[in-house]
Amino acid sequence: MKIINQLQTAKLTGRGGAEFPVATKWLSVMENKVKNFKQPVYIVCNATEGEPGIEKDKYILRYHPKEVVGGIKIAMDTLGADKGYIFIKRKYLNSVKQRLSPFIRGAAIHFFPDDGGYLCGEETTLLQYMEGKRAEPRVKPPYPTESGFNGCPTLVNNVETFYYIYKISKKDYHDTRFYSIHGDVKNPGVFELPINWTIGEVLAKTKNAPGFEFFVQVGGGAAGDIFLSDEIDAPLKGAGSVIVYNLKRTNLRKLMNRWIDFFFQETCGKCAPCREGLYRLREELRSEEPNWLMLRAILETMRDSSFCPLGKSVYAPFFSLMAKIGVK
């Protein structure tokens, strides 16, 4: 329980974007382990990172393999897990194995290659895929901490979260997080900086403050919100991603079509609002004169009635771009 107390004191939240308190999730696994004492417990490190423009997992796994594996081991020991899994994109599998294997020796930690796509960033979809089922989200509750992998109590945290779990256990946590900065910038990359910094502070510190008219997409290159240059004093939350766009040079219609193509490709098609909504959005955006009022109505319907976060998240980038900049 010592590490859980440390996680509570540090107020660590999940770094995959949802920002759910880590200690609360761990306590839920422990409670369900007691209730279902005959069932095994599993730990899953989600390294799929499917959101465009975010490369934190790849960076952390490359430069901090010891810390990530250490965090997974701490979770396994604390929660009495039988096995741990690193759910990783297949294209990164060999390089990640090479870097992490020296620290895994002797531990029941296995690699699970991810071919399930963007939706596997959502924990229940990930578990569906691991069980050999169609990669689509489950109804919640029950949550994975109660009924996860093969119906057993399961902890799913992402790479950055396990990194900080290890740092907290060593009393080496200083309220920082990783930021992924890309787009029309001079110094793209991944940077570790204080968690409470604003968008503007992060851009300035990383020497990426633009010298031209710009806007930013915060949270990822598909689902992220749009912020104008006079709004960058806002806190940088969520997945810690900033993509900078040159306002004068960016073709907004092409940008919107890129977003919709991504979502259209990655949807599982499980629910009608997302499946049909994406089809209609894509169709309208390809026309010479889109019906912008209808586009807004479709986006609002998807936000309010889609089954999972993918359908709901389509609203933010399109609506904020149309509201703040306008598209012709």
Domains and CATH numbers, the chain: 2-169 (3.40.50.11540), 176-246 (3.10.20.600), 252-324 (1.20.1440.230)
Sign for the pseudo-dihedral over CA of 304, 305, 309, 311: negative
CA distance 100 to 221: 28
Q: pLDDT value at position 130?
A: 96
Beta-strand pair 176-183/154-158: unpaired
Q: Are 318 and 295 in contact (CB under 8 A)?
A: yes
Tens of pLDDT, residue by residue, the chain (328 residues): 799 999 999 999 988 777 899 999 999 999 999 887 789 999 999 998 888 888 899 999 999 999 999 999 999 999 999 999 999 988 889 999 999 999 999 899 999 998 878 889 899 999 999 999 999 999 999 999 999 999 999 999 999 999 999 999 999 999 999 999 999 999 999 999 999 899 999 999 999 999 999 999 999 899 999 999 999 999 888 888 999 999 999 999 999 999 999 999 999 888 999 999 999 999 999 998 999 999 999 999 999 999 988 889 999 999 999 999 977 6
pLDDT at 239: 84
Query: Are the C-beta atoms of 124 and 117 separated by less than 8 Å?
Result: no
pLDDT in the model for residue 231? 95
What letter represents residue 215's amino acid? F
DSSP percent split of the chain into helix, strand, coil, nearest 5: 45, 15, 35
Encode burial over 225-258: b for 16+ CB neighbours within 10 A, e otherwise: bbbebebbeeebebbbbbbbbeeeebebeebbee
